[in-house]
């Protein structure tokens, strides 16, 4: 077993985050491209190359700063650009593009959990520990991004079915960009934290028991 704060543990966590983040962002672009929007393709984001999805500030410097300040680490990849007015099905098409990311993470978690169950990999082994970390990270990305607060992915699903006044309010919040995420993380997320943790644990227990 490895200590999550050891060098090996940090490498495992960072590697799992890199894979989860890269597939999440790439699938946004792939689905947008399938629905008629070539913005991500033109930006070179239809790729599983993690270097294309890393942002120096939000992916590397921000989590390191938060760790140094003894705060919960938070990171974000470079958002995949897309034009919601160019995709098919309008708001519902934009929702499909948004949901592609978190549901890819959920699919990865399910696939690896099935692999563990079918292989009979023993609990307590290093391989089990590494794969368990990968599953937990992908579940966490799924649950967090499904929160319907702009600009998180779940907000696109809410936007597609929301009345016009709520849509306008969501547009105003999203216009703040990364500032809206900071407000959410430090003001709203502490209130939602127990629910998010419970959802993470519930899905993990369903997959691995």
The three-class DSSP label of residue 147 is coil
Burial (CB < 10 A; 0-12, 13-18, 19+), residue 113, is buried
Determine the Cα–Cα distance for residues 20 and 34; give it in Å rounded to an integer. 21
My answer on whether omega of the bond before 75 falls inside 30° of 0, hence cis, is no
Q: Are 58 and 77 in contact (CB under 8 A)?
A: yes
Phi and psi at 25, nearest 5°, equal -70, -40
- Which amino acids are annotated catalytic? 25
């Amino acid at each position: 077993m490895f200590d999550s704060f050891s060098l090996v543990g940090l490498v495992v966590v960072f590697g799992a985050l890199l894979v989860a983040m890269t597939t999440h962002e790439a699938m946004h672009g792939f689905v947008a491209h399938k629905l008629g929007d070539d913005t991500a393709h033109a930006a070179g984001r239809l790729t599983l190359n993690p270097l294309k999805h890393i942002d120096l500030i939000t992916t590397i410097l921000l989590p390191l700063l938060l760790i140094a300040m003894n705060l919960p680490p938070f990171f974000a990849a470079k958002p995949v650009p897309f034009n919601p007015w160019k995709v098919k099905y309008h708001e519902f098409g934009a929702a499909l593009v948004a949901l592609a990311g978190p549901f890819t993470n959920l699919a990865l978690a399910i696939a690896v959990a099935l692999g563990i169950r079918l292989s009979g990999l023993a609990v307590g082994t290093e391989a089990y520990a590494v794969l368990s970390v990968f599953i937990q990270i992908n579940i966490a990305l799924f649950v967090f991004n499904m929160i319907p607060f702009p600009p998180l992915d779940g907000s696109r699903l809410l936007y597609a079915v929301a009345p016009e006044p709520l849509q306008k309010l969501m547009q105003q919040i999203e216009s703040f960009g990364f500032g809206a995420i900071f407000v959410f993380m430090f003001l709203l997320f502490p209130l939602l934290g127990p629910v998010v943790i419970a959802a993470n644990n519930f899905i993990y227990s369903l997959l691995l028991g």
